[in-house]
Structure 1
Amino acid sequence: MAREPGTKPEGGLGEDWAAMLEAEAGLADDNSILNQDEIDSLLGFDASASTSVELTGVRALINSALVSYERLPMLEIAFDRLVRLATTTLRNFTSDNVEVSLDSITSVRFGDYLNSIPLPAILSVIRAEEWDNYGLLTVDSSLIYSMIDVLLGGRRGTSVVRVEGRPYTTIEMALARRMIEHILEDMHKAFEPLAPVNFKLDRMETNPRFAAISRPGNAAILVELRIDMDDRGGKIEIMLPYATIEPIREQLLQMYMGEKFGRDPIWEGHLATEIYAADTEISAVLHELNLPLSKVLNMAAGDTIMFDMTPSDPVTLRCGDVDLTKAVMGHIGKNVSVRVTRPLNPPKVTMAAFEAMEDNAEGN
């Protein structure tokens, strides 16, 4: 017999059936869709903190492939040198009080950096000629308008007026190009002690899509420079992919500027000069005689020791424990002298010394 819609089945079985349906309905209500906070909690992201907090979980595993710039000690020294050079150059360029400071050096992914560039900005594609690769130099709009205001005689203490929604004019692009070329020349001088390299401006873009010089997932070094001109200024960001600096990786691994890998002719010349100027003591050995210890202990004043030598026999010139050459005894006035009769003996290299030299060569 058919049951009308909305009616409950009669009997104990019907009551059990209704209770089961109600339980299933309550369970369905409990299994609701996860909200964003629960998803962030599962991924290890703290939604209550700022976006710059350190991420854990899946995001940490993704970013773990990035190489820290701290493994390249000379990189920070090179950019510190760039800061000093750029400060002097921009002061001469603007005839104003310019202060350049190094904000940070970080490792980023190229795609993430392009997506994070605040627009409008000028993206300069630079080419490292000797390394045969490219880099990116980004100048933000605050620095562009501040530099233009200073170069064109703007008053101090006045805020820079920005005109939003329009592209940069020809004059603004030309002045920005001159500033960028000065920065690239300073970069050439900063890296010159490590390796000779010329940075050339390849092109200037305002759209990040046209400045793609590497794959989005490739790692890169991002250097942020802060430029202040009294109450005006902005930032310059220099982005170098790891593939660009790979040719000088060994130089960047040095702990200080003077460290060299392998043979160093400069140090060899310096060492040879110092050795030639060093003072040494040379002994003239007339004769060597083996005597019993008892006879030596019983020696007294007036005893005579006979040398099996004649006045014309050669004597040995010795420095420390090394026999240098042979010489003939003589005198000049009241002084005893020796005259060298043959070239110096070649140095003797023992097997232990030879093995030590091989170990040092393998270590370098």
Structure 2
Amino acid sequence: MSAAGIADPDMQPPVHDRLLEVAGISIDRMPMLRVVFDRLATSCADALRPLSPSPILLSMEGVETGRIGDVLSAYQRGAVAAVLYASEWDTRILVGLDRDCTNAILEALFGGDGTEPQDPEDRAFTTIEMKVAQLVFEHVAAALAACFASVGEAPFKIERVETRLDFAVIGRRNNPAVVTRIAMQAHERGGDMFIVIPQSALTPMRQNLARVLSGDVSPSDPRWTRQIHSEVARTEVRLRAILEEREMTLGEVAELRAGMILPLEATPRTRVRLECADQPLFWCELGRSDSVYTLRVEDFIDKNEDVIDDLVSG
């Protein structure tokens, strides 16, 4: 065979890669995609939190496959989108905000309370709205680079921002793509952020996307964690101290009357069981201080030991 008849592997992708591109990508076989976009929603919410006096919540609603043209048609009216270029992937992706999303973000950033009437969908975006959208797209571009770093490192650069999705071209309209929808809510308002990535960009990373890396969880916000700990520590709970329990028949219970005395076998040295929500917590010693009964915690209650004692006594 002549040298001209030998295919150069550097000039074209392997055959199985081209077959995968034709067949499309199975989202179920790439669980890391959901992890990446879930982390993206958390990262964007953290980035917007210092800018708004009221919380802006973002949550990943789902990841699916579709045609680029179908996605653009669904958001044709009242959406603003940015075309991002990933130089390492040599691919362009689309990040968009529908009008409800931009309105909710704008109202939250400027201290609104969600009571303003909705704007008509056919009006043009104002200069302020475009600047706010540009700010959001910058945060999304940075978050995308950070969240994809574990599977396919690439910086994302904003090429342009469009309000007509016909001009937001990232490939042929019938090309397959992965579409992610992230729900945004501020006050009582909310909208959608959508991200469109051509499947051809993800095919080389399919092996990394097919396995969930250990420790790949949504990054936690230290301030939010401290606030949760503080609120949990301030929660009021009801404790119950049990000195002794005894079994009675239903007939004996029916004969109980006011003023009757029930003898107890417990003594001042008997340990008291401290419970919360029917869960045993501590063994305590009963005492008195200033004419008030007190409990001194002696030890934790070992549930396994209680089970063994019940089996032995039974």
Does the aligned pair in 2 maintain the 1:135–1:244 contact within 8 Å?
A: no
**Other-structure match for 2:149:** 192
Cα drift, residue 103 of structure 1? 0.8
1:78 is aligned to 2:78 = no
Distance 1:119 1:65 in 2: 31
Does the aligned pair in 1 maintain the 2:27–2:65 contact within 8 Å?
A: yes
* 1:161-176 aligned within 5 A: 161-176=118-133
- In structure 2, the CA distance between the partners of 1:164 and 1:196, relative to structure 1 (3 Å rule), is closer
Distance 1:258 1:99 in 2: 24
1:245 is aligned to 2:202 = yes
- In structure 2, the CA distance between the partners of 1:236 and 1:160, relative to structure 1 (3 Å rule), is farther
Mark the runs of 5 or more structure 2 residues left unpaired by the alignment: 1-21, 217-314
Identity of aligned residues (%): 31
Cα drift, residue 168 of structure 1? 1.1
Distance 1:190 1:127 in 2: 16
Aligned residue among 34, 38, 58 for 1:100:
58
Aligned residue among 69, 85, 99 for 1:127:
85
Distance 2:141 2:39 in 1: 13
Residue by residue, what CA displacement relative to the aligned partner does 1:97-141 show, whole Å, maximum 9, x if unpaired?
A: 121111111000112212222411102111112111101111000
Mark the runs of 5 or more structure 1 residues left unpaired by the alignment: 1-63, 260-364
Structure index of larger Rg = 1
- In structure 2, the CA distance between the partners of 1:232 and 1:190, relative to structure 1 (3 Å rule), is same
Structure with bigger strand share is: 2
Does the aligned pair in 2 maintain the 1:137–1:237 contact within 8 Å?
A: yes
* 1:1-364 aligned within 5 A: 65-154=23-112, 156-257=113-214
Residue by residue, what CA displacement relative to the aligned partner does 1:19-51 show, whole Å, maximum 9, x if unpaired?
A: xxxxxxxxxxxxxxxxxxxxxxxxxxxxxxxxx
Distance 2:151 2:24 in 1: 24
Cα drift, residue 163 of structure 1? 4.3
State the TM-score, normalized to the length of structure 1: 0.50
Does the aligned pair in 2 maintain the 1:83–1:101 contact within 8 Å?
A: yes
Cα drift, residue 83 of structure 1? 2.1
SS of 1:168's partner is coil
Distance 1:171 1:190 in 2: 29
The one-letter amino acid of 1:84's match is T
Distance 1:66 1:194 in 2: 19
Distance 1:249 1:258 in 2: 19
Cα drift, residue 147 of structure 1? 1.4
The one-letter amino acid of 2:65's match is S
The one-letter amino acid of 1:105's match is V
Cα drift, residue 205 of structure 1? 0.9
Cα drift, residue 143 of structure 1? 1.0
Does the aligned pair in 2 maintain the 1:131–1:247 contact within 8 Å?
A: no
Cα drift, residue 178 of structure 1? 0.5
Cα drift, residue 80 of structure 1? 1.6
Does the aligned pair in 1 maintain the 2:104–2:185 contact within 8 Å?
A: no
Count of residue correspondences: 195
Distance 1:109 1:164 in 2: 24
State the TM-score, normalized to the length of structure 2: 0.58
- In structure 2, the CA distance between the partners of 1:79 and 1:194, relative to structure 1 (3 Å rule), is same
Query: Larger relative CO (CA 8 A, sep 6+): 1 or 2?
Result: 2
Does the aligned pair in 1 maintain the 2:141–2:156 contact within 8 Å?
A: yes
- In structure 2, the CA distance between the partners of 1:95 and 1:190, relative to structure 1 (3 Å rule), is farther
